[in-house]
Chain A
Amino acid sequence: MSPVTVVVGSSVGGVRTAQALRAAGYDGDVVLVGEETVAPYDKPPLSKGLLAGTSTTADITLLTEQAAREAGIELLLGRAASGLDVAGRRVELDDGERLAYDDVVLATGARARPSPWGALPGVHVLRSLADATALADDLRQGGPLVVIGAGFIGAEVAATARGMGVADVTLVDPAPVPLSRALDVEVAGILARLHAENGVHTRFGVGVEGIERVAGGLLVRLADETVLPAATVVVGIGAVPNDDWLRDSGLRLDDGVVCDAYSRAAEHVYAVGDVARLPHPRRGGLVRAEHWTNAVEQARTVARTIALPESPLAHVPVDYVWSDQYDRTIQLTGRTGGTLAHVLVPGPDPDRAFAALYADADGTFAGAVTVGWPRALVTCRKAAGQDTGTSLEEIRQALSAPRPGVRKEAAR
């Protein structure tokens, strides 16, 4: 009998693992289980083009039924996994079916942290396609919109809503600046100004006390007693890993499925993407990366390891995330923010583009955020991925040096 790999979770981590198994020449059965009934789709557009209405469900589909068939991937949609029997090598589904496996990949991702202020009508979170569609419907009715949480998703929703013509948008966060977990106050302050310049009211440094439903809409009550009227509220306060279904599996769970450097949670059990927590050689300790590129890269290494078990591939969490806000692409790589020292380097168009470079106390480059300057991101990302330290000064000079124009002739 041919071997079976069961992949649980059908978003980018799961779909890419299934596809990469085939690309790596795996000739066993590949079964992809997903709780949602819609065809697997990609998430970054949910706060960007799909919310704005500039991209469609078809545009963000990761795997059609036909593509699955052609690749020899058995798709079990609308089926949730409810348990894992590691010793017996079986995945239990919530309808009672048990799927035997030789290898299993856990790719159940994360869900939006629910609103601690109640789930009233008009109060949204944003994680799934259904969430995005419901939010888009409300935003098309106009504002006011209050976004609670100025992390990546909250900041993107505020920006997209402005682009959709929502007139009255307020972004609230108890931290003094947006993206406070990833950036220092100075750089985050520049992004706070970007919101203000684009007509978003910002209320940073003040928490939310509660949300009430009144005739004609919602009221968001802030800690300083301000009351913000809203037609729509978005709560973007982070995500929690979908690892509850593994509670009785005996696997080590600690805000995610704890894995070794090979993404292995146990013999023949691997985890990929937002649900996986694994050792980070450059940060020390275990890290749960919650970014697209990490999920894709980890899917590839895990698939290769399953297909060619005699040469397992280690996975180093990829410290890279992009975020599109207004007309800027914001890109972060490596370690940023916190107490790291930083310098600002102006981009080719200094009004629109810059890089903030971060360094450890000894001047070794640690990471960077670039705004509107993807070329600088490339330099910084390559340096951040190296084990031998580069000095911040070296990166600064590389970014500041004029460079010969790249040849465009080969492009078609």
Chain B
Amino acid sequence: MAIVKADLELCQGYANCVVAADDVFDLDDDGVVVLLRAEVPESDVDRVTDAARSCPVSALLVETP
């Protein structure tokens, strides 16, 4: 399992994460990121890490223990 973290203060609603992994990330009506899942299984880590790296303001982190 890996843990997904979002910095809601940094988030600008640029939406790259949602387009890359909409099973993990969404936006609320104010355009701020919402984590649909706080943990992702090993099999999803690469894909979700790519989604996190697509954030223009580096507001997302995927931590593997």
Chain A positions near chain B (C-beta within 8 angstroms): 16, 23, 42, 44, 292-293, 296-297, 300, 320, 322, 324, 329, 331, 348, 372-375, 377-378, 381-382, 385, 405-408, 410-412
Contact = CB atoms under 8 A, between A and B. Distances in A.
Contact of A374 (B6, B31, B54): B31
B15 A410 contact: no
Contact of A411 (B19, B35, B53): B35
Listed from nearest, the 10 A-B pairs whose CB atoms lie closest are A374-B13, A374-B31, A410-B35, A411-B35, A406-B34, A378-B18, A410-B38, A406-B26, A378-B15, A375-B27
Contacts of A44: 56
15 contacts: A16-B53, A293-B56, A297-B54, A320-B19, A329-B12, A374-B14, A375-B28, A377-B13, A377-B15, A378-B19, A406-B26, A406-B36, A407-B34, A408-B34, A411-B6
Given A296-B53, A374-B14, A412-B38, A382 B19 contact: yes
B18 A410 contact: no
B37 A410 contact: yes
Given A322-B12, A372-B31, 12 more contacts: A16-B53, A42-B56, A296-B54, A300-B50, A329-B14, A331-B14, A374-B14, A378-B22, A406-B34, A411-B8, A411-B38, A412-B5
A297 B27 CA distance: 21
B10 to A, nearest CB: 10
A374 B27 contact: yes
B22 to A, nearest CB: 8
Contacts of B54: 293, 296-297
A322 B11 CA distance: 13
A406 B37 CA distance: 12
Nearest to A49: B57
A408 B16 CA distance: 19
Contacts of A329: 12-14, 31
A377 B50 CA distance: 20
A270 B36 CA distance: 37
A407 B15 CA distance: 17
Contacts of A385: 19
B38 to A, nearest CB: 5
A246 B53 CA distance: 30
Contacts of A375: 27-29, 31
B58 to A, nearest CB: 9
Contacts of A300: 50
User: A297, A324, A377, A378: which has the most chain B beta carbons within 10 Å?
Assistant: A378
A331 B28 contact: no
B36 to A, nearest CB: 6
Contacts of A296: 16, 53-54
A320 B17 CA distance: 13
A372 B16 CA distance: 16
Contact of B35 (A23, A372, A382, A412): A412
B53 A381 contact: no
A410 B5 CA distance: 10
Nearest to A300: B50
Given A296-B54, A375-B27, A375-B29, A411 B34 contact: yes
A406 B38 contact: no
A297 to B, nearest CB: 7
A173 to B, nearest CB: 26
Contacts of A42: 56
Contacts of B18: 378
B35 to A, nearest CB: 5
A410 B53 contact: no
B53 to A, nearest CB: 7
B8 to A, nearest CB: 7
